[in-house]
Structure 1
């Protein structure tokens, strides 16, 4: 006969003030590894990653684990699903830099995307925007700036990737071609739309260019015809505002590009042409899975290590590194960096003008059947003067974004820590913006600058949540048991809220809740 408390007893331990935490005591070692070894599951397979429960998360099979020899356009298009590093995978490395291109190629990705503009003295450089303001802080129009001036500047993606990210030079196109053309497919776009003659002349110096260069422009561009006449494969992409008239341009290009978040009916229209379709830009695994399910074969991928499932699933946040972990993303990844929280020491600060969420994809999916999630939060500059607070969305089926107060594309739970000390657990169903209260617990009002620690335990019997290692509320709801979660700011405007020490681990087992540390 089992003598310890069963799961239902554990869920009712609030009255006893049971301690349940991943932290342990000062004299005890931390029971949760900060990162999970890549072969925790004992598979012996190189590149295998694992969750905190030791369940393997296999790398995407269609991309080799390392460069596997020269890749041509034919090699790329004969792969069942293929990946192109968008801006060199700009969610991971400073976009359109030699480092980003090299790192992407080192992952085994066969193709990279390169944007090109010409300086005032006619030198082709790799840069996405028509000016240098966003990336270098200097509001210079590229077409009016000399190469000598550009060479003194550095691309700075710290606002997107974190303060520990290094600044990188703006590369010349010829440098990139010399480094990568022989082994890599390059999707090359004339961003200014005026440099085709110069680009084709430069490519003429590379005998195998037609095997490696895909001419990229909006599908409506007349430059595709000239690229085809010169023997190049063409990729025409469409924006969300040009999808309705897309069919008129399908025959003008060899490959089609559709926004990753386009409506299903539009994507099916593209796939029905029989031409290879590439979704752009892909930040999340959920976007990849949706596109593949609709028959899209190509992924213009901005978050390659994460989408390709090359990173071990972490058991703790990486905020102390000052650099965003692969898979961690704000709810709006296409916001030109405005929605990215900032790193402040060991914490992540959310200070958006609206409600916001930050998915910790680097720590998902948690695949244990029963697990504990722990985090700390504070309001460093004053508590909100409104009803809602901040907390965590959890048990999400995938990593698709879910912003508080907006209609949810998937179901899950929201734990809201209110400024007045209340802790409220909501169930939010798919297609709903409002949640249903499942439980509530009281507590002392929050004070500015005070860190509070919270825990959520998810078991087969239900959900428990509390603060400071003491259980506060419970629910037997079992509708959602996904392994992804997101930090949440549940109010508009200020003040900012900070999070730190986000960790996951196995839920307390029967008979262990409240167990004292050994002397």
Structure 2
């Protein structure tokens, strides 16, 4: 339902792109800091989160919210927490004030403010009818002795006047005066005595009442104090008993955080399974966690909460990207998640994978806590307190083997570093984090986190602060080399088995299984658009790259190639299901010293060779110099039989210490001959879409085999 037309609103706009201008995918999310805004006049009750996705083409975003200072809004001048989520970039969180004076404002131009719930304004109703007259008051207290004496003097004077008027001058007035004096004196004495007695009685009653009240207050205060002290003593006793019981009965950590990180240096970094190794296994699933733990890698676990309050292992706030369902997790009940939500990892990792169930955080803690360190992060704000409560209530021993992971903007660090817990903390930064912000959080930080997208200079600045630094996301060995050279000691890797070694894992492909291999390096990780596509049906065993332009796929599983003294041979089949234009080509690259991305027609970081097989049948070898866009042909162009649509061609690449040679072996046999060139002898290689401009004409490969000559 739309907001009322007469209610002032503010539209928050902006754009998020990568460095090359491609749009970031994600959403903008807004939550009132106070939890809700209420508009009494219209009956509007604004609460919960508002979320809108970025434009998929431009990265633009826009969200319209009630103005913080809208007339009639309670609380008044409250702030919003704005979160820019992303699947392929850091999350940005900022608290902002949205006054109605600026109905349209760009997010990047807003100065962050401290969170504030706002001021609550009392809204008065119409004046009510006049009430009835109040009850008659109680009689006043008895008069004092001074009042009695004044009364006596007045009475005496009155009697004298009356006597003088009543008797004659012969002396009767004097007698009357004397009698009056005697009568008045007696009366005054009686009244004075009565007044004195009344005053004494009133004073005594007042004193007794005050004494009783004082006694009651003293007893009550003493009782409250005793109850408080008894309660404190009871709590202390329960806490001491719980600590003692924990020491006796809770499982001891086989692998603590501190033990895991002992000796961590740039030359001996530690590895963490980012999202459970989410580039080779369905992310945040038991199969992923178990594989990482079995190989001895620490786990990185993200959690969000469902509508029933159960915590589930999930990176995103929604189910859209990683499951077959859509919408926010916190709109599903525990039963719905447990029975009807399955991961869709086959899109990224190959159809050979079976769908996996989502896993509750409790199950992960019960299975792995104390056996391997766990970096634990509640991703959504509504998951923070449930996670803290779960740990405090059921896992008081967690600080031994859990690292509390959070963004620099979090408010949860004081909880994590409280003396009763003292979790180790890993705090990750974003590109806008200032040194002043880091200084403000430094006392509660054990390890800093940097992105692989940060510049060398920025990473070195963070390392220079003196605390261990972990980087994310790491899925290439070349990234490990760069980061350790800058002083980083921890690698948050989506493929820790591959990046933690420097040897090949096998020498022949099993692409017919349709399961992604460790060491497969597309241009971007966690992006199905760049994932290796496994053929099915008649194309079973064939693979391709379903992305443009000039995309490639590194075969780190077989790298670096280990040859004999005579060299090595790469054999593979290739085909075009649909033939491209005659001069368009696809092929294979090899000879690179690093697994950094190779792209045809692009200035690459390291050099190597690439095979060119054109649709006309021309076969060529090119050398690609680092930093240079175009390749340089070596040897002659070999005219082979033109490819036939959907028919396999077979190739061999022979590399000796002094020569390189390309052969096509599916017919009579064609060869470039052994070309004398020793420029590149690196062992990294992969598949290349070459110069194709239409995905329908992309090349396909199968039967990769590496042999020694």
- Tell me which interval the TM-score lies in, with the shorter structure as reference length: 0.7 to 0.9
Deviation, 1:107, is: 0.6
Deviation, 1:218, is: 1.5
Query: Which residue of the partner structure matches residue 652 of structure 2?
Result: 455
SS where residue 198 of structure 1 aligns?
A: helix
Q: What whole-Å deviation, never above 9, does each CA across 1:436-469 have from its counterpart, x for those lacking one? A: 1113211222221121111111112211112115
Counterparts of 1:278 and 1:477, CA distance in 2: 41
Counterparts of 1:408 and 1:71, CA distance in 2: 42
Q: 2:260 aligns with which of 73, 76, 87?
A: 76
Deviation, 1:320, is: 1.4
Query: Which residue of the partner structure matches residue 89 of structure 1?
Result: 277
Query: Which residue of the partner structure matches residue 488 of structure 1?
Result: 688
Task: Note if contact 1:257-1:277 (Cα within 8 Å) is conserved in structure 2.
Answer: yes
Counterparts of 2:615 and 2:429, CA distance in 1: 45
Query: Which residue of the partner structure matches residue 465 of structure 1?
Result: 662
Query: Which residue of the partner structure matches residue 478 of structure 1?
Result: 678
Deviates more, 1:215-224 or 1:157-166: 215-224
Deviation, 1:337, is: 2.0
Counterparts of 2:514 and 2:660, CA distance in 1: 32
Q: Which has the larger radius of gyration?
A: 2
Deviation, 1:76, is: 2.1
Query: Which residue of the partner structure matches residue 352 of structure 1?
Result: 547
Task: Note if contact 1:261-1:287 (Cα within 8 Å) is conserved in structure 2.
Answer: no
Query: Which residue of the partner structure matches residue 387 of structure 1?
Result: 583
Task: Note if contact 2:640-2:670 (Cα within 8 Å) is conserved in structure 1.
Answer: no
Task: Note if contact 1:305-1:311 (Cα within 8 Å) is conserved in structure 2.
Answer: no
Task: Note if contact 2:534-2:543 (Cα within 8 Å) is conserved in structure 1.
Answer: yes
SS where residue 529 of structure 2 aligns?
A: coil
Query: Which residue of the partner structure matches residue 481 of structure 2?
Result: 289
| TM score, norm. by length of structure 1 | 0.80
SS where residue 136 of structure 1 aligns?
A: coil
Pairing 1:218-233 to 2, within 5 Å after superposition: 218-229=407-418, 230-233=421-424
Deviation, 1:236, is: 1.2
Q: Which runs of 5+ in 1 are unaligned?
A: 1-68, 508-519
SS where residue 103 of structure 1 aligns?
A: helix
Task: Note if contact 2:284-2:301 (Cα within 8 Å) is conserved in structure 1.
Answer: yes
Task: Note if contact 2:406-2:426 (Cα within 8 Å) is conserved in structure 1.
Answer: yes
Query: Which residue of the partner structure matches residue 304 of structure 1?
Result: 496
Pairing 1:361-510 to 2, within 5 Å after superposition: 361-368=556-563, 369=565, 370-380=567-577, 382-385=578-581, 387-439=583-635, 440-468=637-665, 469-490=669-690, 491-494=692-695, 495-507=697-709
Counterparts of 1:209 and 1:105, CA distance in 2: 17
Per the alignment, do residues 488 and 120 of structure 1 end up closer, same or farther by CA in structure 2, a change over 3 Å counting? same
Is 1:214 matched up with 2:392? no
Counterparts of 2:516 and 2:626, CA distance in 1: 29
Q: What whole-Å deviation, never above 9, does each CA across 1:175-200 have from its counterpart, x for those lacking one? A: 11111112221111111123222211
Task: Note if contact 2:296-2:372 (Cα within 8 Å) is conserved in structure 1.
Answer: no
Deviation, 1:246, is: 5.2
| TM score, norm. by length of structure 2 | 0.59
Counterparts of 2:435 and 2:542, CA distance in 1: 45
Deviation, 1:403, is: 1.8
Query: Which residue of the partner structure matches residue 235 of structure 1?
Result: 426
Counterparts of 2:544 and 2:310, CA distance in 1: 40
Counterparts of 2:312 and 2:325, CA distance in 1: 16
Deviation, 1:222, is: 2.3
Deviates more, 1:422-431 or 1:382-391: 382-391
Deviation, 1:302, is: 0.9
Deviation, 1:311, is: 7.9
SS where residue 359 of structure 2 aligns?
A: coil
Counterparts of 1:352 and 1:311, CA distance in 2: 29
Deviation, 1:473, is: 4.4
Report the count of equivalent residues.
434
Q: What whole-Å deviation, never above 9, does each CA across 1:193-223 have from its counterpart, x for those lacking one? A: 2322221110012131111221112122222
Deviates more, 1:413-422 or 1:219-228: 219-228
Q: What whole-Å deviation, never above 9, does each CA across 1:13-62 have from its counterpart, x for those lacking one? A: xxxxxxxxxxxxxxxxxxxxxxxxxxxxxxxxxxxxxxxxxxxxxxxxxx
Q: Which runs of 5+ in 2 are unaligned?
A: 1-252
Q: Which has the higher contact order (CA 8 A, sep 6+)?
A: 1
Deviation, 1:326, is: 1.0
Q: What whole-Å deviation, never above 9, does each CA across 1:378-431 have from its counterpart, x for those lacking one? A: 111x11126331111100102121122222010101111111111121111111
Task: Note if contact 2:376-2:405 (Cα within 8 Å) is conserved in structure 1.
Answer: yes
Per the alignment, do residues 224 and 92 of structure 1 end up closer, same or farther by CA in structure 2, a change over 3 Å counting? same
CA RMSD of superposed structures (Å): 1.8
Is 1:162 matched up with 2:350? yes
Task: Note if contact 1:156-1:167 (Cα within 8 Å) is conserved in structure 2.
Answer: yes
Counterparts of 1:262 and 1:404, CA distance in 2: 25
Is 1:262 matched up with 2:454? yes
